[in-house]
Amino acid sequence: MHCHQDLVSFLSCGLILVGVCHLVYHRKSQSSYGRYMACPPARTVPARLAWFLQEMPAFIIPLLLMLTTHKSTIMGKYLLLATFCVHYFQRTFVYSLLMRGKPFPLSVMVTAGLFCALNGFLQGHYLLHCAQFDDEWFTGYCFKIGLLLFYIGMAINIHSDFILRNLRKPKEVIYKIPTGGLFEYVSGANYLGEIVEWFGYAVATWSFPALSFALFTLCFIGPRAYYHHRFYLEKFKDYPKFRKALVPFIF
């Protein structure tokens, strides 16, 4: 398969545009799932199944592209794409089976699944068929720093999810104040971790598609961290006043 550069540019610009539109549209309210679901929609899917199905395309599609593409002499491309797949393997086969949450609206699951499919194709196709790296790139600072940021962000994300998952006992429906880890500094520690992940990935690949995905992630889950923070402040009188929404000591 040859590089479809126009399609790559179109999808990358589309990610940024959709992210900005989401940011503008949800200035005053959040997407209606989870704690922000005012009333149960007519069609829902159990949270674990919904998360498994919607995240899987972002793991399967790049994996299939790697398996069906003629092997390049530059193995760093495969290492970068495998890094992308590591995140979605964890989200699909580990996080989804451990999570506790309200049923997902079917429309949210389908939309998220379509996004994961498109983004999985975009990142995989670009790295395997469009990206041009020399051997020195994979010993350079951008590659090393980017991967370091990615795995630091992933560790923060997984640890924060662990804290949130163990806040409540099985079948409890009350909200509690998360503590420990980066939750001591921000209300959206899990979101901060994921944002750091994808900006690290953008640095490691130094590519427009990866940067567009990082910006989309920031626009999509950054506001959710803000609304979580506001929710905690309104619900708990003793919520730590020094704790910020997303960025320690700043925002």
Exposed/middle/buried for residue 146 (C-beta within 10 Å: 0-12, 13-18, 19+): buried
pLDDT digits (tens, 9 = 90+) for 18-28: 999 989 887 77
Determine the pLDDT at residue 1.
72
Query: Is pLDDT above 60 for 3?
Result: yes
In angstroms, rounded to a whole number, what is the distance separating the alpha carbons of residues 164 and 42? 28
| Mean pLDDT along residues 31-40 | 58
Determine the pLDDT at residue 29.
67
In angstroms, rounded to a whole number, what is the distance separating the alpha carbons of residues 158 and 98? 11
In sequence order, what are the residues at sequence separation of 6 or more whose Cβ sits closer than 8 angstroms to the Cβ of residue 21? Answer: none
Range name among 44-53, 87-96, 97-106, 193-202 with the lowest pLDDT average: 97-106
Average confidence score pLDDT of the chain: 91
pLDDT band at 37 (very low <50, low <70, confident <90, very high): low
pLDDT digits (tens, 9 = 90+) for 208-238: 999 999 999 999 999 999 999 999 999 999 9
Instruction: Enter the tokens of residue 58.
Output: 């972002």
pLDDT band at 40 (very low <50, low <70, confident <90, very high): low
Instruction: Enter the tokens of residue 132.
Output: 């041009």
Helices 106-125, 47-68: axis angle to 10 degrees equals 20
Q: Contact 160/195 with Cβ under 8 angstroms?
A: no
Query: Is pLDDT above 80 for 159?
Result: yes
Q: What is the DSSP string of 114-156?
A: HHHHHHHHHHHHIIIII----GGGGGSHHHHHHHHHHHHHHHH
Rounded to two decimals, the pTM is 0.92
Q: Which has more pLDDT, 107 or 169?
A: 107
Three-state SS at 47: helix
Determine the pLDDT at residue 48.
93
Ramachandran angles phi, psi of 168, nearest 5°: -115, 150
In angstroms, rounded to a whole number, what is the distance separating the alpha carbons of residues 47 and 103? 5
In angstroms, rounded to a whole number, what is the distance separating the alpha carbons of residues 184 and 179? 6
pLDDT digits (tens, 9 = 90+) for 85-120: 999 999 999 999 998 878 888 988 999 999 999 999
Other CB atoms within 10 A of residue 207 CB: 21
| Mean pLDDT along residues 160-188 | 90
